[in-house]
Structures are given as C-alpha cells and as structure tokens.
Chain A
Amino acid sequence: EVQLVESGGGLVQPGGSLKLSCAASGFTFSGSAMHWVRQASGKGLEWVGRIRSKANSYATAYAASVKGRFTISRDDSKNTAYLQMNSLKTEDTAVYYCTRHGGDEFDYWGQGTLVTVSS
C-alpha cells in the first residue's frame, strides 16, 4: 500500500524558516518524481514545486510564488522528500501536501501538514 506521510508543520514567524518532510512507503521511491502542493484555508490547490528522480538528475522546478525561497530535496536512502521553506510570508500559510508523480499526474497524496506563518 502506497503511503505518504508529511511532518514538520507548525507555527513560524514571518521571515522564519521551516523544513517539511514527506516519508514514503509502498512503492519504489527512488524512481518517482515528487511534488509539493499547498492549500490555504478555504482556497484552491496551488502547485509549489517538484523534484525528479536520480535518473533525471534530481531536477527541480518551482512556482514563481516560492522560487528563490523554497528548496525541494530528497534522500532516496530514507525514502523521504523535503521542502525547505525560508523567508516565510503570511501568505505561505497553508496545508502542504506531498504527492507522487505517476504517469503524468498526482496519483497518491499525503494527509497534509499545516504551516502557519504569523507573529
């Protein structure tokens, strides 16, 4: 059974940093691209970014709204993807989901972790 479990969310002040983790199981993690998607309360889904597999040089891509502030990485030995968030803004407050890249869609999702940016 495929499982994705996010952790690391919490309350952080504006300008601060936070690192989210996404622990994967039930599939060949090293061969899969992983994405992060966020959702502010009462709002729609927003794609944050992705990291490809080693075979694709661990290439990353980001939404314009987070580029230069967020960094996605992975540790295939731990079956875990990460989202390092720096220079956080109040508008980054959201539930953050990690999701697996299937054929060309997001086929499995975690339960999400809440990040609140507030003073």
Chain B
Amino acid sequence: QSALTQPASVSGSPGQSITISCTGTSSDVGGYNYVSWYQQHPGKAPKLMIYEVSNRPSGVSNRFSGSKSGNTASLTISGLQAEDEADYYCSSYTSSSTRVFGTGTKVTVL
C-alpha cells in the first residue's frame, strides 16, 4: 500500500486560506468516506482535526474544513493563524482493511 500523495509544503499569510490535497486511489480515498486529517506540531503527538471526510471533532476550530472529490481529499484552513503552522497528514481506510497515511504537508504561516 503506497502512501497517499500530499504536497510537501504549503504556505500562506495570516488571515488567508490554504488548501492541502491528499491523492489516493479508488482502493482507498476514492472508495470510502473514511478520510481523516491530523495536525502535528514538532515533538508532539498527532491531533485529529477532521474525520469521515468533513466532520470536525468537538473543540476543533471551524476554520478547518474537509472535502473529497473522486480520489482526492482536501483540507482547507481559513483565516490562517500562526498556531496553524504544523505538519498535516491525511489518512484513509483501504480495501485491504488496513490504513494508509499521506506523505505529510508542512504548513508555514508567512
């Protein structure tokens, strides 16, 4: 199972919106609505930000939103803030009943 493809880095200025893509196949992202997104600050454990493509857990800012089209899922961060600077990973259920993560995206707030 190959890792899902994410851009290595995305940047934006405070207040702007950015979008991170996560591309897989019909055997993972495209085949199920089981895509989740995680934020990871340096030296910390990952934190769930979005589950089942577009749902936000309690306590996660509504500036974070998710969507999916075909084999590509996306995470959008609106009103970018300094604290959003972190690494972001997508994850998907697969047809083999396993899980796969994306390659990771470093978000920089300019």
Name A's B-contacting residues (CB within 8 A).
35, 37, 44-47, 50, 61-64, 97, 102-107, 109-112
Partner of A109, one of B1, B34, B47, B96: B47
Q: How many residues of B contact A (CB 8 A)?
A: 25
Closest Cβ neighbor of A46 among chain B residues = B101
A106–B45 alpha-carbon span in the complex (Å): 11
Q: Tell whether, in the assembled complex, residue A111 and residue B45 are in contact, meaning their CB atoms are under 8 Å apart.
A: yes
| Chain B: minimal CB distance from A15 (Å) | 26
A97–B36 alpha-carbon span in the complex (Å): 17
Q: Tell whether, in the assembled complex, residue B45 and residue A109 are in contact, meaning their CB atoms are under 8 Å apart.
A: yes
A62–B101 alpha-carbon span in the complex (Å): 14
Q: Tell whether, in the assembled complex, residue B51 and residue A103 are in contact, meaning their CB atoms are under 8 Å apart.
A: yes
Q: Tell whether, in the assembled complex, residue B45 and residue A110 are in contact, meaning their CB atoms are under 8 Å apart.
A: yes
Residues of A within 8 A of B11 (CB): none
What would be 8 A-B contacts, judged by CB atoms less than 8 Å apart?
A: A45-B91, A46-B101, A47-B101, A102-B48, A104-B34, A105-B36, A106-B91, A110-B45
Residues of B within 8 A of A35 (CB): 99
Closest Cβ neighbor of A43 among chain B residues = B104
